[in-house]
Amino acid sequence: MASPRDYKNTIVPNWCPGCGDYGIQNAISAVCAKKGWANEDITLISGIGCSSRIGGYQYCYGAHTTHGRALPFAQGIKCANKDQHMIVCSGDGDSYAIGLGHAMHAIKRNMDITYLVFDNQVYGLTKGQTSPASDKGFVTKTTPDGNPLTPLDAPAMALAAGATFVAQAYAIDSKTMINVIERAVDHKGFSYVNIFTPCVTFNHLNTVQWYNEHLVKMEDVAPDHDPSSKAAAYRLLGETNSLVTGVIYEEKDSVAFGDIVPSKDVRLIDHVEKPSAELFEDLC
């Protein structure tokens, strides 16, 4: 039986002590173990940012790509490798600023990809600038008088873009996070999960205490929520100021893009064969 440790390589992450990204890495690894996936059947693509370092720490195929462009890379790779379990990791700066146009079209295209956004409401890698997810009033080097803008309501935007799976999780609540990510990878089509994660070094507004006081769990605020209803999903986001964790929306009978269009027409490179387990071992 697989263990979460089987999905981490030997490189020690250089995230700050206390960073929520450790918890997300543990959750992704736990889900891979629960599914019993072979390492060579997983591809993890990341963009740029503290979150996106994760690709270097997992024992699977992957690429650490360019800022905001993880999704185009992932979709291209998925076209040529339809059976790979495709996970994309990105941050709120990477996804909701330079990468937002790609995210909207990837959501709309509904390829069978799981998109995990590590949302710490700040640019961490570049040492603490305001991001599109930052709260109003947040003081940083780029907004010394406080952020004058309201944060992007990313889950509502994903719904509006036609997402077939929308969920949120919290890096400190591993039980809910593992459940949400497992449901995301099981979903047929594009699954989008926004994961709140504390940046202990550069975000002194949205601390662990702040998240504990402001985030609410689905089972506490809406135990009868029907995730197949888009109207209920919008209502839930409105009622909770989009600070709810759990599966907010999942379209019944979602059909992934690669299953609508025959794979021979989706594939960009016809001759690509699945890499062998031996090749994977050689590369690793």
Residues forming the site for ligand SF4 (CB under 6 A): 15-16, 19, 21, 50, 120, 124, 199-202
φ and ψ at residue 73, rounded to 5 degrees = -60, -50
> What's the N-to-C CA distance of the chain in angstroms?
21
- Shortest Cβ distance from residue 97 to ligand SF4 (Å)? 16
CB nearer to ligand SF4: pick between 119 and 173 = 119
Residue 56: Cβ within 10 Å count? 14
User: What single DSSP character describes residue 88?
Assistant: E
- Residue 150 DSSP symbol: P
**Residue closest to 110 by CA, chosen among 184, 195, 188, 194:** 188
Instruction: Let me know: does 244 contact 218? Beta carbons within 8 Å.
Output: yes
Q: How far is the CB of 122 from ligand SF4 (least distance, A)?
A: 7
Strands 42-46 and 85-91: parallel
Residue closer to ligand SF4 by CB (options 207, 212) is 207
Cβ at position 13, least distance to ligand SF4 in Å: 8
Report the amino acid identity of residue 177.
Answer: M
- Residue type present at position 39: N
* Cβ nearer to ligand SF4, comparing 22 with 234: 22
249 burial (CB, 10 Å; 0-12 / 13-18 / 19+) is buried
Residue among 124 and 246 whose Cβ is closer to ligand SF4: 124
For ligand SF4, which is the closer residue by CB, 54 or 166? 54
**Nearest distance from residue 185's CB to ligand SF4, in Å?**
24
Q: Smallest gap, in angstroms, from Cβ of residue 202 to ligand SF4?
A: 5
Q: Identify the sign of the CA torsion 51, 55, 58, 60.
A: positive
d(CA 6, CA 3): 5
**Of 207 and 229, CB closest to ligand SF4:** 207
